Structure 1
């Protein structure tokens, strides 16, 4: 059965409309795609222009590394040094004066101007220079308070003439060689400075004998005398330096600062501390 002319015409019109609509859709899709490409290209170009002009900061930047603060080297602290030139070792009025067999007092008949009686227990009336006397009083009280011991003075200041008598007596009994080992000649004696004292136990035990070193009083003095400014002047192991035999009873006042320095450094003679020649014999 054949279609009528009107039916065929209607079908052709419907197909034409479908084709036209499809073409329009295709054209629209192509236009949208092209617009997107152009827009994207313009965006990239804009970003490129902005970057090239330098007017926009980059999206992100690498952080600047933080450097550690420099470590400061501390300035070394100066170590205080003892001033060995603070006082004279030649002037007989100085509490640091060094008198030995090579160093006579100048003048040889020197007599201190500030001698005073020392108010402590004694065998013979003790006289010393004021500063040394004050230190002795404090030390004698300390040994009583700290150790329950009692000290006494056996000898202190001796004038030139008194020292001459003592020396002559020892020469008569010991001979000159023996006397020179135990007793200073006049003008060379520490006793003449008014700064030296022969100290013993108040009981008299081992008085002016080397066994005094083994008594409680002698041991206390050996360990503590420096605290009060005194030096055991003639140690047992320094006879070749001082020229005198061991006298554990002979203490010389040199002041707390020097006595403490010598105690701290372990130097036991004035000759060695001040760099003086050993004085085993008279020059």
Structure 2
């Protein structure tokens, strides 16, 4: 009788253990999505809880050297001041929000696009500022359509996207297909530093940036930093650590 009771108790304990695991340790697609109030995958601690930029000692002198990546985030309420639409051509599908960029990059961006045009290269704006909520929707849609692994490789999680800073913009060509090897992609890679921009996610540096190669994504860091980063073939992360 005692042996049967012991076996019964063990069975009950194991059953509760399995039930606990199933409720707490198994993630569904729904668990992986951001709901605006809950950050899953143990990344809530990486977000800034206030309204200020988490500079992490990297942007003490120039805000445009702010580092935003998978380990350095922004508050969900952060929005740069003086967002403005630059006088450049955008693709037809860009919404009004993403036509805006930080005022500090307006002139350099317009100069870059105009100089490219003078050299026979037509560049279009594709995606500038993106709010926390817009990034959340973009990330969640990517998870639903292509899975978490793909989403994490190509789309920053909300609060960890440079687009929220207003200091970057995705550039494309008239075919909306700007990659390495196209005349527009090659021109951008070899000339954007002249105007204070860098290719933020360069080829071969994915282990440092945490994002796959994006030849269309340019980030303003100022002419001095951009020149150094370009000439030494490094990333913003490496520049800030030097």
Q: With structure 1 as the length reference, what TM-score do the two structures score?
A: 0.61
Cα-to-partner distance string for 1:70-110 (whole Å, 9 max, x where unaligned): xxxxxxxxxxxxxxxxxx6257x8100001101112x3431
State the match for 1:121 in structure 2: 89
Q: Is the 8 A contact 1:108 1:188 kept in 2?
A: no
Q: Distance in 1 between matches of 2:113 and 2:160?
A: 27
- Among candidates 62, 86, 109, match of residue 136 of structure 1: 109
| Distance of aligned partners of 1:109 and 1:90 in 2 relative to their CA distance in 1, 3 Å threshold | farther
Q: 2:68 aligned with 1:99, yes or no?
A: yes
Question: Which is worse superposed, 150-159 or 117-126?
Answer: 117-126
| Alignment pair present for 1:268 and 2:229 | no
1:258 aligns with 2:231: no
3-state DSSP of counterpart to 1:95: helix
Equivalent in the alignment of 1:170: 142
* 5+ residue gaps, structure 2: 1-56
Which SS does the other structure have where 1:233 is aligned? strand
Task: Tell me how far 1:205 sits from its aligned partner.
Answer: 4.5
Whole-angstrom CA distance in 1 between matches of 2:101 and 2:168: 8
1:183 aligns with 2:155: yes
Cα distance between partner residues in 1 of 2:66 and 2:189: 21
**Separation in 2, partners of 1:121, 1:112:** 22
The residue that corresponds to 1:30 in the other structure is none
Indicate if the aligned counterparts of 1:120 and 1:140 stay in contact, CA closer than 8 A. Answer: yes
The residue aligned with 1:206 is 177
Match of 2:169 among 197, 219, 225: 197
Q: CA deviation at 1:221?
A: 0.5
1:110 to 59, 78, 85: 78
Aligned partners of 1:90 and 1:259: how far apart in 2?
15
**RMSD, aligned CA:** 1.8
State the alpha-carbon separation in 1 of the partners of residues 59 and 225 from structure 2.
Answer: 16
Q: Name which of 120, 129, 132 aligns with 1:160.
A: 132
**Structure 1 residue 243 and structure 2 residue 214: aligned?**
no
CA distance in 1, matches of 2:59, 2:132: 18
Query: Following superposition, which runs of at least 4 residues in structure 1 exceed 4 angstroms of deviation?
Result: none
8 A Cα contact 1:164 1:186, kept in partner: yes
Secondary structure class of the residue paired with 1:198: strand
Q: Under a length normalisation based on structure 2, what TM-score does the superposition of the two structures give?
A: 0.71
Deviations 1:134-170, CA, capped at 9 Å, x for gaps: 111000000011x211100111100111111111111
Q: 1:205 to 1:113 in 2, by over 3 A?
A: closer
